[in-house]
């Protein structure tokens, strides 16, 4: 089974970690892992574009297109992504498989000083290329100055150390997967500032009808994560969300099977926020999808043309 991954350090790290889980489930060890589960690095358009925000270059598909093409023409058998990078509409012939247990879905505010959001000085400069993060920052702290900061995690941390900004926002899961747990940071409250759709979760794409690959990954699939991300992606779909839309969501399933959902959309400057919350008992994938879609439709109706204008 040839596993496709982006060539970025984070993608290769999390693909290696997922492959280790899969190898253990399949009873593979040592050289057998590289022989039977080789990782095929593929550079994507999103990796090559570093001079402007993705919202100006074409959106999420920039991180998946080359891997989708490799799947469809048979060069790889599956591809591993950060779920937050995967568009809600997949190409014909490609399916999304359930992934392993989700890691921390929160955003981390990283600064040289390790200060929290409320402690940053008036007018502090924050580096981020995420429309959602920028809008949420401006909503919480209108005094902050936000500049575009692209690049992989290591590059952004280097730019922070070089003084290009006072702080930046990164996914906590990415920091952990790359071994940056000791970098000075403060976790943001995911209720006050919901993360990206699917943040902290890994996505596995495969060819439709490939039962062998689907059966292998079913061994490490986490059903609680599957329900949570089903709600979040349905919410995003209902809002026609993309990298050009400031949308965040937090779906949390407890051990009793009850789902709590918080979803929001913001205008680009964070002035206006549309937000919905709901609870669902004994959630399933289907009922979670229905809940997410319903709340997304409600926000779309509330925002009307004002949200449509965010798409640019």
The answer to whether residues 67 and 10 touch, using CB atoms and an 8 Å cutoff, is no
The one catalytic residue in 34, 73, 77, 85 is: 85
> What are the C-alpha distances in Å from 234 to residues 193, 237, 287, 294?
19, 5, 11, 9
Strand, helix or coil at 126?
Answer: strand
The answer to whether residues 230 and 292 touch, using CB atoms and an 8 Å cutoff, is yes
Phi then psi for residue 10, to 5 deg, are -65, -45
C-alpha to C-alpha distance for 111 and 180, rounded to whole angstroms: 13
The owner of tokens 């990782």 is 39
Active site residue 305: no
Bridge partners of residue 260, in order along the sequence: 252, 279
**Closest residue by Cα to residue 250 from 235, 269, 239, 238:** 235
The answer to whether residues 171 and 107 touch, using CB atoms and an 8 Å cutoff, is yes
Active-site positions?
Answer: 85
């Amino acid at each position: 089974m040839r596993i496709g991954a982006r060539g970025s350090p984070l993608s290769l790290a999390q693909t290696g970690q997922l492959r280790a889980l899969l190898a253990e489930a399949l009873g593979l060890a040592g050289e057998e892992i590289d022989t039977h589960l080789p990782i095929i690095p593929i550079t994507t358009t999103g990796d090559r574009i570093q001079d402007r925000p993705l919202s100006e270059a074409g959106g999420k598909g920039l991180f998946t297109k080359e891997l989708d093409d490799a799947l469809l023409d048979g060069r790889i058998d599956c591809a591993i992504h950060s779920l937050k990078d995967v568009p809600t509409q997949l190409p014909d012939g490609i399916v999304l498989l359930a992934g392993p247990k989700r890691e921390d879905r929160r955003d981390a505010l990283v600064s040289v000083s390790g200060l929290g959001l409320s402690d940053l000085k008036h007018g502090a400069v924050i580096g981020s290329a995420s429309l959602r993060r920028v809008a949420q920052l401006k909503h919480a702290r209108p005094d902050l100055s936000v500049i575009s900061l692209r690049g992989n995690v290591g590059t952004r941390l280097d730019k922070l150390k070089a003084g290009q900004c006072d702080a930046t926002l990164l996914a906590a899961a990415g920091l952990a997967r790359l071994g940056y747990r000791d970098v000075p940071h403060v976790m943001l409250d995911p209720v006050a500032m919901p993360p990206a759709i699917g943040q902290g979760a890994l996505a596995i794409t495969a060819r439709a009808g490939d039962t062998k690959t689907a059966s292998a990954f079913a061994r490490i699939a986490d059903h609680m994560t599957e329900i949570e991300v089903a709600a979040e992606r349905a919410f995003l779909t209902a809002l026609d969300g993309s990298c050009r839309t400031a949308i965040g969501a937090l779906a949390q399933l407890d051990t009793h099977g009850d789902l709590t959902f918080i979803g929001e959309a913001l205008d680009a400057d964070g002035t206006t926020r549309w937000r919905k919350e709901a609870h669902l008992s004994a959630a399933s994938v289907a009922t979670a999808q229905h809940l997410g879609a319903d709340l997304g439709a409600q926000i779309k109706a509330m925002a009307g043309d004002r949200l449509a204008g965010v798409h640019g």
